[in-house]
Every structure is written in structure tokens, then in C-alpha cells.
Chains A and B, each alone.
Chain A
């Protein structure tokens, strides 16, 4: 199975900050990576697919990059609604696997 490792596990930041979350795969997954946002008790929300494609309706302050084994999700200017947990998922091969999540907290 492909192991997905996110860093950091927790991130404290302030409104207006630029933040970056990293996701590393244990082997190459080409660009088949998705990023999701999740808030407690709510459905996960797709942000980015194929590493860098922004899902329709997602604010442009979110962006994704990377290929192979290293990927990043960047939020250019944090808004109050962005404080949540973010996780990556590879869909290059079965079983599709997820990162452990990054909790973005208010500093």
C-alpha cells in the first residue's frame, strides 16, 4: 500500500497568514492526489484534484502543486472559515490511501 504522510499534523496560524501543508507519498503517484477540507460533524469538502486542479466553487486562495511523491496545499491568505482539518488522498492505485490530516488552528 502507498503510505501518505502529511506535515505538520497541527498548524497554528492567524487570519491573513499564508500557510502550506505538505503531503508525501511512499512511492510515485504521478499527479493523482486530492485535497479535502473537513469540519467537525460535516461532510469532507473536495478542494483540489489531480494535484493542482481547483474544484469548482473553491476560493482561489487555495492552490495545490506537486507531482511524483511530494505535494503541497497552500492557502494564500487565511480566512476565518478556513480553520479546519485538511487531508490528502492518493488515487493512483488501489487501495486508495489518505494522509493522517493536518489540523489548522487559530493562533
Chain B
């Protein structure tokens, strides 16, 4: 059974770059068939989809974050990563990584999630 685990600094100073990694176990990213995604949830607020990536490096991002986000994949390490630059306090949240299943060729939903990691943006 595939499992995902987020890792990275719990504290980031503004306006630095937030960097997180999601390690995938129990399955190979390289085998394809799935996309890989990041989602976040500020305290007391609803979840927000950040973006997704395929093993080819093809990405799609939430337009509200697109200018600051980069998602990348490293198939040799079986992991994918998130970088969010120019962070502010508004980026403080629990960040989740997730596996994405494709339906009807074009529709994507998350079927396996990590437990999440808390990132606080503060000087």
C-alpha cells in the first residue's frame, strides 16, 4: 500500500522560499499512471489545492499561486517537491502531499494523502 510522507522546515522566514519534499513508499512514482499533488490548509480555513505534477515533469497549478509555486519530481529518489517563494504569514498552513488518480482522461482527484506537515511563516 502506497504511503506518502511530507518533510521540510517547520519555520520559514518571510520573504524566503518554503521547500517541502514528499517521499513515496510502497510504490514507484516511475511506474506512471498517477499524478502527484500538494494541498494546504491554514488553521481554521478550508483546504486549498496548490498544484500537481506527472513523472514527465508536466505541471498544473492553482492560478492564485502559480506565480510563486514550483512542483518538481525526482523519480530516482521516488519523491516530489514543492517550492513556494516570497512567503508571507498567509502561507502558514498544514501542507499535504497526495497521489492523484485520473478519471475520464481529464479529471483528477486525490486518492492517497500524507499526514501533513505544519509550516509557520514568521520572522
B111 to A55, Cβ gap below 8 A? yes
Chain B contact residue count (CB 8 A cutoff): 23
Main secondary structure of the interface of A (DSSP, over half): loop
Question: CA of A99 to CA of B46 in the docked complex: distance in angstroms?
Answer: 7
Contacting B at CB under 8 A, from A76-95, are 87, 89, 91-92, 94-95
Q: Is the CB of B103 within 8 A of A50?
A: yes
Q: Other than the known A55-B111, A91-B108, what 7 A-B pairs have Cβ atoms closer than 8 Å?
A: A43-B115, A46-B112, A49-B109, A91-B107, A91-B109, A96-B62, A98-B47
Taking beta carbons and an 8 Å cutoff, which residues of A are in contact with B?
32, 34, 41-46, 49-50, 55, 87, 89, 91-92, 94-101
5 shortest A-B CB distances, which residue pairs? A98-B47, A43-B113, A96-B49, A95-B62, A44-B113
A selection of 30 A-B contacts at a CB cut-off of 8 Å is A32-B107, A32-B109, A34-B109, A34-B110, A41-B115, A42-B115, A43-B4, A44-B98, A44-B110, A44-B113, A46-B109, A46-B111, A49-B101, A49-B109, A50-B103, A55-B111, A89-B47, A89-B110, A91-B107, A92-B107, A94-B60, A94-B63, A95-B49, A95-B63, A95-B64, A96-B49, A97-B49, A98-B47, A98-B49, A101-B46
